[in-house]
A and B are shown apart, each in its own frame.
Chain A
Amino acid sequence: MSTRMTRRKMIATAVTAAAGVSGVGAAARIANRYGLIPPDHQGLYGVGETLTYAAQRVLTSGHSLAREFNRSQISPVAPVNGDPPTTESYLRHLDGAFAEWRLPIDGLVSRPASLSLADLKGMPSRSHITMQACEEGWSFIAEWTGAPLSSVLEMVGAAPQAKYVFFFCYDDWFESIDMADALHPQTLIAYGMNGQDLPPEHGAPARLKLPRQLGYKNLKYLSRITVTDTVNGVGKGLGGGAPEAGYSWYAGI
């Protein structure tokens, strides 16, 4: 009796374990299919990161909007981390009021383009008063104005197999975002802040504004945009400078 119970228990355990392993395998395939695995999913920290990214992607499906605020809530002073680039090319554009500045958009697009600041300002614009929260803990509210990234991607004809949009900057920083954020209505190539041109310390001439993620994903001093279907081949293949520096790729929390 007892041996039979033990054998039955063993079989049940083996079946459960097999189901568990194949279940995890199936879950991983489904998660990958629906874009629920972040580039920095490796290792023990990657487990937590994948849970966070997958949970937030499932939760925020359907273009939920980041909280927007009243004009009276705009912070009188907006602090920054770090100074504008001092490279020769950036200083030359700054001196020339960015008249010669161009933003190439290439990669998996059918009509690669190189947009001037005037081109960007000529596109239908969107403004929102949103919070920028730093992972360090501080936050401020400002009004941002720019061209929705979705309009820019539509203009250049981003391919259906596109999975990531990479952003490169004059300070040699780079990051990528997924298509859910790239096509989100609040995601802007922002050239205006609080009704003025974007000041150099806030990323002139144009920066990424991504109000559903923390400050460090909102890259400043944009120099190039590239649409890809993989994070491999760019830097160390982790999807950006933040994960290479030990910070999570997805910064929705």
Chain B
Amino acid sequence: MRHSLLVRITHWITAMSVAGLLVSGVAILIAHPRLYWGETGSVETSSLIDLPLTLTFGHSGWGRYLHFLSAWTIVLTGVVYVVSGFLTGHFRRHLLPSAEAASHYEPLQRLAYLVVVFALLPLIVLTGLAMSPAVTSVMPWLATMSGGHQSARTIHFFAAVAVTLFVIGHVTMVIVAGFAARVLAMITGGHETAQERV
């Protein structure tokens, strides 16, 4: 299967954004590696989980700058990808497990991509916005739907863990399928057989 130019470009921008988000997310998290449920939580209250991370201050400044730069990049790229994915039939032809069209992707693999694009990433964006006191002044339901400010933070963390697991699985499969050829295919578009051109 040949990757379209749009899929290739959005793939690599997304990959860089995810890297930026994970690195900066950890930089923010280590300033307070405890998770709570509800609206409030601090060193004065009991936690839901104490993460086994060393408490480290001084990285949330650049961490937050990089986090929001990466967040804007992945969201704007994601909008382009999703809109064009519907217009070109990319989702229907390549990612719907029931689709008959020729593809090298297994049903489970297709499902994983759809879950990440349409469930996990939107959930991360919404719970991220739910932590914003300015955004929730306009959309308080974001926070209440999440179960509170701290619950939003906890969901945001576990959704990020799920994305990390997806990335690990994704890269592992790329390595198994032939790393150089697969990566090259995502850069140049790869081979196009006569049958796939149809």
A51 part of interface (Cβ distance < 8 Å):
yes
Partner among A59, A79, A136, A252 whose Cβ is within 8 Å of the Cβ of B133: A252
Report whether B65 and A248 are in contact in the complex, using a CB–CB cutoff of 8 Å.
Answer: yes
* Contact of A77 with B44 at beta-carbon distance under 8 Å, contacts A52-B72, A138-B32, A245-B61 already known: yes
Chain A interface residue count: which class? Answer: 35 or more
* Contact of A60 with B69 at beta-carbon distance under 8 Å, contacts A69-B39, A131-B149, A139-B39 already known: no
Q: How many B residues have CB within 8 A of the partner chain?
A: 40
CA–CA, A49 to B134, complex, Å?
14
- B residues 111-151 near A (Cβ < 8 Å) are 128-129, 131-138, 140, 143, 149-150
Partner among B66, B135, B143 whose Cβ is within 8 Å of the Cβ of A252: B135
* Contact of A67 with B135 at beta-carbon distance under 8 Å, contacts A52-B68, A77-B44, A247-B61 already known: no
- A residues 137-161 near B (Cβ < 8 Å) are 137-141
CA–CA, A248 to B28, complex, Å?
13
Partner among B57, B69, B132, B149 whose Cβ is within 8 Å of the Cβ of A253: B132
CA–CA, A59 to B138, complex, Å?
7
Report whether B68 and A49 are in contact in the complex, using a CB–CB cutoff of 8 Å.
Answer: yes
Report whether B137 and A212 are in contact in the complex, using a CB–CB cutoff of 8 Å.
Answer: yes
CA–CA, A131 to B133, complex, Å?
8
CA–CA, A79 to B134, complex, Å?
22
What does the 1/0 interface line of B35-67 toward A look like (CB < 8 Å)? 000011111110000000000010011101110
* Contact of A137 with B153 at beta-carbon distance under 8 Å, contacts A44-B69, A253-B68, A253-B131 already known: yes
Chain A residues engaging chain B, CB cutoff 8 angstroms: 44-45, 47-49, 51-52, 56, 59-60, 64-67, 69, 73, 75-79, 131, 133-141, 211-214, 245-248, 252-253
